[in-house]
A and B are shown apart, each in its own frame.
Chain A
Amino acid sequence: MSILTLFIIIPVLTIIGILSSKTHMQVKWVSVVGMGLQLLAAIGLILLYLAERRAGNMAEILFVQDNVWYETLNIHFFLGVDGVAVAMIGLTALVVFAGIFASWDVVDLPREFFTSLILLATGVFGFFISLDLFTMFLFYELAVIPMYLLIGIWGSGPRHYSAMKLTLMLMGGSAFILLGIIGIYFNSAPGGGQLTFDLIKISKESIPVNVQLFLFPFLFVGFGVLGALFPFHTWSPDGHASAPTAVSMLHAGVLMKLGGYGCYRVAVFLLPEASHQLGWIFLILATIGVIYGALGAIWQKDLKYINAYSSVSHCALVLFAILMFNETAMNGAIMQMISHGIMTALFFALIGMIYGRTHTRFINEMGGLMKVMPFLAVAYVIAGLASLGLPGFSGFVAEMTIFVGAFQNADTFHRVATIIAASSIVVTAVYVLRVVGILLLGKIKNEQFELITDAKWYDKISVVALIFGITLIGMAPLWLSDMITGGLGPIMQKLLAAAPILN
């Protein structure tokens, strides 16, 4: 049994623990212990991975575990990770851990809340560690469906509408993915032999190009829906705005990354020829998404909507970078996923904490919060600076890598797209600084805000953990980028082999 199994076992045990605990407090502490262990396991996994690589183990995937599940259909319970997956697991564990503390105030049906939250996390972990398309898809859907309950029951605003919209759109995406997966399955052995869902085995085969051209749009759009690909992003602002704090964190921080990761790991990896031929369509959409999301954020008055649109912009940047098909940009894409995951989780955590104190999310009604809640305000500034890509924080490393990589494509089309996308940085600066100015500085507009208290201990744990993540990556990005580069090898080989000869 490999260490990866722990990432399924711990959440399941935690859920059992939550269901059998009696009081409100017990529920929360069981969740904390469970997800704390999960975070430790993730850190352990990162260290083990680095140690293995240093010891010279250059296998494509590590910590493999392979059990036959459905023999006649050749479905396996196949676990294994490369550098990219390890990084994503680390991100997930951190955000989930912070999310538990951020939802310390949940009073209504706490047992159900934490069960759903951890079920969601289980799906995400399972998705990142599986290498069998069937189990991957299973975990993907498992991650999506608790969102309905989480937003619908504990959300705010038009929560029923948002929950339904989000669930149906994401499940619509997963319907496309299912078709793509089945299509790949039936073409997984073009030379004869047993059909397989095994991602690694399929990547060694070459699927006929006409099949690829048929399947690629389904898979890319299917995962793209979750990755907020324009124009399929509309669930995202509504969903984020209505969701409770921890759910927004998990959703923007981790769940949306499932989309980007799926595009990278399944669509582009398995269908490289089609990626080259059809990539330009999605590149246009992603570029529009980058700029549209950023512009959308400027117009919003609700803090959560601002951040949701900014997430659309940043997640579109991930897809943009993946579609550049070179190693630097690809590396940047993964970095951006991790950086944005932590950063946006921090944003949503802070917004939730501010909302819990001021009972409003409209920036016009707030002001001068720096004076009454200095800790949260400073944290908000840090998140904002990371978001607009200030050196020293993770955002800078990621965006820098992406645009350097993107500019390596010498043709006009890619250059223009890169310039347009890069201009979003300026727009980001506008909305981040504007919010910081209105919200935190200036005079206190509402007298009742004078009575507000600063962060509680559990708020602080959540915030500090996330800020630690941002600065760690910002200050010392090399270990992470090395880890990611190690994982990019196979996909780059496939893409290069499939690249059309440019003249």
Chain B
Amino acid sequence: MLIMRHELLLIAITVILLIVEIFLPNTQKRKIILPAILLMAAVTILGFFPGTPGILFGGMFQSTALSMMLKNILNIGVLIIFIQSVDWLKQDQNKEKVSEFFLLMLSTLIGMNFMISAGDFLMFYIGLELATIPVAALAAYERLKEKSAEAGVKLIFISALSSGILLYGLSMIYGTTGTMYFADVAPLITGAPLQVLAFIFFFAGMAFKISLVPFHLWTADVYEGAPVNVTSYLSVISKGAAVFIFTIILYTVFYKIAVMWSEVLYGITILTITVGNLFAMRQQNLKRFLAFSSIAQAGFILLGVIGQSQLGMTTVVYFALVYIFSNLGAFGVVGIISNRTGKENINDYDGLYRTNPNLSLVMMLALFSLAGIPPLAGFFGKFFLFTAAANQGYYWLVLIALVNTIISLYYYLLVIKAMLLNNSDQPIAKFKSDGYTRLGLLMCVAGMVIIGFTSVVYEMVFNLSFGLY
């Protein structure tokens, strides 16, 4: 039973919250916030106790030391998002649907956990769907706002489309190999034309989920329309989980045609980073800005995927962890400012440092970490990604990525310029953020600072990634 510990715990707290929810009168829904956060914190902590690796359901579900680590990473991210959402959930417009937020989030998290632990394509697909559909509901959470509803609809349509493509690919894999189990499929992948086609469909389906260029077109609209906390969930947790399973499947199932997919990835990486960066430069709305920046960051993660080794897997996981803290830091600040003032544009941030120094400091650290500036964790993450790609001899790819880090630094500096350098007649007024927000941001800053300085995290991930490729 301990093998499914993460999933069972999450299901348990979801059920508990559901029951509590029933007994809360409509005006008292806010009371669920604290128990939800505490339960999630408990689950996160319990997840760190060493578990037993093993397989269930005849190999459909497999739990390894690495997958447990990945689930812990996702748990931490979701916990931070829960904490950051409190200020927003307490607003009047949300008072009747507070509990839905937690329940839907937990459902998607359960889906992701199953997806990461999948041992065959069927389980993988079920997990993926469970992870996707509730997010669409979350995107449309502020349903009375036109943009939020639009985001929900867009997300569900895109998910349906990409799932269809993915399923088509999976059916071809089944057709050519006669099995759905990763372990059985892997030796039968020979690079036959139908399998190549299957791989392309699979790849395209996943590319939609990770929003790689040219499958990224939905991202900016959805990110802009959805509530900030849902956007941060989409850009960090959803994307992270999809990257994890994508890498695992590439490494464990399709390793025989690595020559082929690494070439595809080569091109997609360049496209994703460059297009993401070029579009990010032009954005005024911070949510759209962060959407394109997160597309570019996903491109950087591919550098680790293309590393095709223990080193590659380690850097992917490590960077994803760093990225969670950095991006959540940035979204946390955008979220609280959007809640309090309704302002979401870069221009609105002019002179923010003079009125809200602490918030701008967190934002600055988060953006520097995203840009890969030492001594923040982002620097280490990026450096290791480049190392992983160079390990395979992709020096020119690394060079292109490096040039792109300069472009990304430019637009991150634009925000920092607005906050620290510009002066404004009407800066965002000074306000006091609540304890939850501060705690959430503090966790992000701690993560950004500590993960780089201490090599413990990296070494741990490295040891767990052993034998995957």
The chain A residues found within 8 Å of chain B, CB to CB, are: 69-73, 75, 134, 138-139, 141-142, 145, 148-149, 152-153, 159-160, 163-164, 167-168, 171-172, 175-176, 178-179, 182-183, 185-186, 214
Contact = CB atoms under 8 A, between A and B. Distances in A.
Contacts of B403: 172, 175
B399 interface: yes
B306 to A, nearest CB: 15
A160 B455 contact: no
B278 interface: no
A171 B459 contact: no
Interface stretch (B125-133, B371-379, B438-446): B371-379
Interface in B384-427: 384, 386-387, 390-391, 395, 398-399, 402-403, 405-406, 409-410, 413, 416-417, 420-421
Given A71-B459, A72-B459, A185-B390, 6 more contacts: A75-B455, A148-B413, A160-B417, A175-B403, A178-B402, A183-B395
Contacts of A182: 386-387, 390, 398
B391 A186 contact: yes
B329 to A, nearest CB: 17
B368 interface: yes
Given A168-B406, A175-B405, A179-B398, A185 B374 contact: no
Interface in B447-468: 455, 458-459, 462
A142 B459 contact: no
Given A70-B455, A72-B462, A178 B383 contact: yes
A317 B413 CA distance: 33
- A-B pairs, 9 with minimum CB distance: A175-B402, A152-B421, A138-B374, A70-B455, A182-B390, A72-B462, A141-B374, A172-B406, A142-B374
A71 B455 contact: yes
Interface residues on B, range: 20 to 34
A172 B390 CA distance: 19
A171 B406 CA distance: 7
28 contacts: A70-B459, A71-B455, A71-B459, A72-B458, A72-B462, A73-B387, A141-B373, A141-B374, A145-B368, A149-B416, A149-B420, A152-B417, A152-B420, A152-B421, A153-B421, A160-B421, A164-B413, A167-B413, A172-B403, A175-B402, A175-B406, A176-B402, A178-B402, A179-B399, A182-B390, A183-B390, A183-B395, A185-B387
A164 B412 CA distance: 11
A171 B409 contact: yes
A153 B455 contact: no
B42 to A, nearest CB: 32
A162 to B, nearest CB: 12
Nearest to B315: A73
Nearest to A152: B421
A168 B409 contact: yes
Contacts of B379: 138, 141
Contacts of B421: 149, 152-153, 159-160, 163
A399 to B, nearest CB: 35
Contacts of B395: 179, 183, 214
Nearest to A69: B455
Given A179-B399, A182-B398, A164 B410 contact: yes
A144 to B, nearest CB: 9
A452 to B, nearest CB: 30
B413 A73 contact: no
A204 to B, nearest CB: 22
Contacts of B458: 70, 72
Contacts of A176: 402
Contacts of A70: 455, 458-459
Given A152-B417, A178-B383, A179-B399, A145 B373 contact: yes
B373 to A, nearest CB: 5
A141 B395 CA distance: 21
A193 to B, nearest CB: 16
Interface string B330-374: 000000000000000000000000000000000000001000011
A264 to B, nearest CB: 23
B163 to A, nearest CB: 38
A153 B399 contact: no
Nearest to B414: A164
Contacts of A75: 455
Given A69-B455, A71-B459, A182-B398, A168 B383 contact: no
Contacts of A179: 386, 390, 395, 398-399, 402
A214 B383 CA distance: 20
A73 B373 contact: no
Contacts of A214: 395
Nearest to A176: B402
Nearest to A215: B395
Nearest to A154: B421
Given A175-B402, A175-B405, A182-B386, A153 B462 contact: no
Which of B374, B409, B458 is packed against the most chain A CB atoms within 10 Å? B374
A241 B340 CA distance: 40
Given A72-B462, A142-B374, A186 B409 contact: no
A145 B386 CA distance: 20
Contacts of B375: 138, 142
A178 B387 CA distance: 10
Contacts of A172: 403, 406
B423 to A, nearest CB: 10
A134 B383 CA distance: 9
